[in-house]
């Protein structure tokens, strides 16, 4: 019985060594080759001193090497820290510093861009490059060119920390959500159950592995000995072309992906994607009109709408046969999971009442790395059981939800200041810090404004510094250098002063209400 992440790969490679595992552009790798690459990664890390619980960051494009590194780190008893390839060096430096990364897997070009940002940090002991590198005592070049090594016994347990996924908090910089091996295996087991994923599946991977669902796709594929097709794209027609070329059967995306396909990809409406069995959504609600367009274009498709949060992975899903009856519902609890709502007094909500969604089950995370107060706020004792019934930790989502008489759930809104755009959780404070770093502003407040395509768009309301010109273009140009695309303000609005609440703080609620009409 597998209980560590890499056990899934070893079992699939032993049972189906010649089965196609990863398609990365023109490169096709079998499960035997996939496992061999993971062993090479593990052996290299061990050779250079990795010990149990050392954090290993991966800053690569989504490639075969990135997939192999994820399982190789697990084989070496390390902790996986996948970093979004879109992040800029300053943001990568924060992650490296925050969880004291010991090893970094990247390319020479990325390392050169990052070196200055983390040279002052003492935690990184070795940099493992997937390509050639410059002379540097910390750098190990082209480590994947070596021959694979035999497995070494693992000393980890299923309850041990396996990965840290960085997600923005409502204030401050991104924080790391800690996931155990059991969390990861439970997530893949549960998803493969209700999506009925089999060994014959060919799943198109367009989500980053640093995103909980993108990582889950990789793990689920390996668990089932299916095939994962990697794709980085710019236009929706590229997705359609890959589905046809690789006979893709499953596709997961964000609301923006479905908007791109239905509005900006003519081939999606003209091509019958006969092999595509299902699509799933995460990272925000899909407008009902978009769902209708998808079903009109591809009437055979099973469309699964889902709700989740990184701290507990996936919480609910709406079965495809319920779409016509309740198109705005987020469904019911995923298998092995209990979902309930509580009011301000900690009592269970009745049908029709709004309450905070609480998640109970095997995917509840271990909390936030080195943030005990945040962990205590999100992970708490089950309010519906007595102390005599033993320990039972649940996840407080912070999201307002209501339930109908049949138990189907409906998302109302977020109970914090987070901006949820295109599936990303964006910290207003982090964007504000960049805006203020221009030295052109006296104040900056960043809010989310409702948007039918991306969910919320990032909107900045700012006060120019005394004697400084109100130059919107200069601010946006600076932000473009410092922030990934999904965090860039769509607009910068100059005002004479920001509204304040009675306690002297910026009144974000007023800012949002005035711009959400």
User: How far does CA 374 lie from the centroid of its chain?
Assistant: 19
Q: DSSP letters along 441-461, please?
A: EEEEEEEEEEETTTEEEEEEE
Nearest-angstrom CA–CA distance, 38 and 68: 5
Q: What is the pTM of this model?
A: 0.88
Quick one: tokens of 224?
Answer: 């089932």
Question: Is residue 319 assigned to a domain?
Answer: no
- Judge whether 248 lies within some domain: no
Phi, psi of 149 (to 5 degrees): -115, 165
Residue 150 to residue 484: CA distance in whole angstroms: 40
Q: How does pLDDT run across 252-298, given as a tens digit for each residue?
A: 998 888 888 987 899 999 999 999 999 999 877 787 888 988 999 99
Task: Point out the residues of the chain with pLDDT beneath 70.
Answer: 168-172, 414-415, 417, 501-505, 517
The pLDDT of residue 170 is 46
Please report the pLDDT score of residue 329 as a whole number: 94
Residue 172: per-residue pLDDT = 60
Domain assignment present for 137: yes
What's the CA gap between 399 and 266, in Å, rounded? 36
The residue out of 388, 414, 440 marking a domain boundary is 414
The residue out of 399, 414, 429 marking a domain boundary is 414
Q: Same domain for 18 and 92?
A: yes
Query: pLDDT per residue over 57-102, tens digit each?
Result: 999 999 999 999 999 999 999 999 999 998 999 889 999 999 999 9
Residues 213 and 69 in one domain: yes
Same domain, 348 and 438: no
Indicate whether 470 and 403 sit together in one domain. Answer: no
Domain C-terminal end among 202, 232, 262? 232
| pLDDT score, position 282 | 83
* Coil vs helix vs strand at 352: coil
Range of the domain at 443: 420-514
Same domain assignment for residues 387 and 473: no
CA–CA separation, 268 and 279 (whole Å): 13
> Which helix (DSSP H) or strand (DSSP E) does residue 377 occupy?
helix 372-378
Do 214 and 337 belong together in one domain?
Answer: no
Q: Looking at the domain assignment, is residue 60 inside a domain?
A: yes
* Same-domain status, 339 and 479: no
Please tell me the distance from the alpha carbon of residue 99 to that of residue 176, in angstroms, as a whole number: 8
The alpha-helical segments, DSSP class H, found in 82-180 are 89-98, 108-118
The count of residues in the chain is: 517
Number of helical (H) and strand (E) elements in the chain, helices listed first: 15, 27
What is the 3-state secondary structure of 302-324? EEEEEEEECCCEEEEEECHHHCC
Whether residues 399 and 431 fall in one domain: no
Q: What are phi and psi of 119, to 5 degrees?
A: -60, -30
- Identify whether residues 366 and 451 lie together within a single domain: no
Give the span between the Cα atoms of 19 and 88, in whole angstroms: 37
Is residue 370 classed exposed, middle or buried when 0-12, 13-18 and 19+ CB atoms within 10 A define those classes? Answer: middle
Q: Could you tell me which of 184, 183, 164, 187 has the C-alpha nearest to residue 174?
A: 164
Q: Are residues 426 and 406 in the same domain?
A: no
**Residue 365, CA distances (Å) to 58, 163, 178, 356 in order:** 21, 10, 6, 18
Helix (H) or strand (E) holding 40: helix 31-47
Whether 311 maps to a domain, the answer reads: no
- Cα angle vertex 259, ends 256, 262, to 5°? 150
Percentage, residues of the chain above pLDDT 90: 71
Query: Residue 386 is part of a domain; what is its CATH number?
Result: 2.30.38.10
Same-domain check for residues 397 and 433: no
Residues 31 and 150 in one domain: yes
Cβ(185)–Cβ(233) below 8 Å: no
CATH of the domain at 63: 3.40.50.980
**Domain-embedded: residue 432:** yes
Dihedrals phi, psi of 459, to nearest 5 degrees: -130, 130
The domain total for the chain is 3
Residue 253 lies in a domain: no
Whether residue 213 is contained in a domain is answered as yes
Q: What is the CATH number of the domain that holds 442?
A: 3.30.300.30
Q: Token digits for 331?
A: 């469904």
């Amino acid at each position: 019985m597998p209980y560590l992440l890499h056990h899934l790969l070893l079992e699939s490679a032993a049972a189906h060594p010649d089965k196609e595992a990863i398609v990365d552009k023109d490169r096709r790798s079998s499960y035997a080759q996939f496992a061999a690459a993971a062993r090479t990664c593990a052996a290299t890390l061990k050779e250079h001193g990795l010990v149990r619980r050392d954090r290993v960051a991966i800053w690569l494009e989504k490639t075969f090497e990135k997939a192999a590194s994820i399982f190789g780190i697990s084989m070496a008893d390390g902790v996986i820290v996948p970093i979004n390839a879109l992040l800029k060096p300053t943001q990568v430096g924060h992650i490296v510093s925050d969880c004291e990364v010991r090893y970094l897997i990247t390319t020479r070009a990325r390392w050169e861009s990052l070196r200055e940002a983390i040279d002052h940090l003492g935690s990184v002991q070795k940099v493992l490059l997937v390509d050639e590198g410059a002379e540097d005592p910390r750098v190990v070049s082209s480590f994947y060119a070596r021959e694979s090594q035999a497995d070494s016994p693992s000393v980890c347990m299923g309850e041990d920390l396996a990965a840290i996924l960085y997600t923005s908090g409502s204030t401050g910089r991104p924080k790391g959500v800690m996931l155990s091996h059991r969390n990861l295996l439970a997530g893949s087991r549960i998803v493969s159950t209700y999506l009925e994923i089999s060994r014959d599946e060919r799943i198109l991977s367009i989500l980053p592995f640093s995103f909980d669902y993108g990582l889950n796709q990789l793990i689920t594929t390996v668990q089932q000995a299916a095939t994962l097709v990697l794709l980085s794209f710019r236009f929706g027609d590229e997705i359609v072309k890959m589905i046809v070329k690789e006979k893709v059967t499953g596709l997961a995306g964000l609301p923006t992906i479905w908007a791109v396909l239905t509005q900006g990809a003519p081939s999606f409406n003209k091509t019958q994607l006969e092999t595509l069995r299902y699509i799933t959504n995460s990272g925000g609600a899909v407008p009902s009109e978009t769902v209708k367009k998808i079903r009109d274009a591809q009437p055979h498709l099973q469309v699964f709408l889902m709700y989740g949060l990184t701290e507990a992975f996936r919480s609910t899903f709406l079965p495809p046969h319920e779409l016509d009856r309740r198109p705005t519902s987020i469904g019911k609890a995923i298998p092995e999971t209990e979902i309930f709502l509580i009011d301000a007094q900690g009592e269970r909500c009745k049908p029709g009442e709004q309450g905070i969604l609480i998640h109970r089950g095997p995917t509840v995370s271990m909390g936030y790395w080195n943030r005990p107060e945040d962990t205590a706020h999100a992970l708490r004792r089950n309010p519906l059981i007595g102390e005599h019934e033993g320990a039972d930790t649940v996840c407080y989502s912070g999201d307002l939800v209501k339930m109908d008489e049949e138990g189907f759930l409906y998302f109302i809104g977020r109970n914090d200041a987070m901006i949820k755009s295109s599936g990303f959780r964006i910290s207003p404070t982090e964007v504000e810090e960049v805006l203020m770093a221009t030295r052109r502003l006296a104040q900056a407040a960043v809010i989310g404004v409702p948007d039918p395509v991306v969910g919320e768009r990032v909107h900045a309301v700012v006060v120019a510094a005394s004697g400084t010109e109100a130059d919107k273009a200069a601010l946006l140009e600076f932000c473009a250098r410092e922030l990934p695309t999904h965090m860039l303000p769509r607009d910068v609005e100059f005002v004479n002063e920001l509204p304040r609440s009675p306690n002297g703080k910026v009144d974000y609620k007023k800012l949002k209400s005035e711009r959400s009409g």
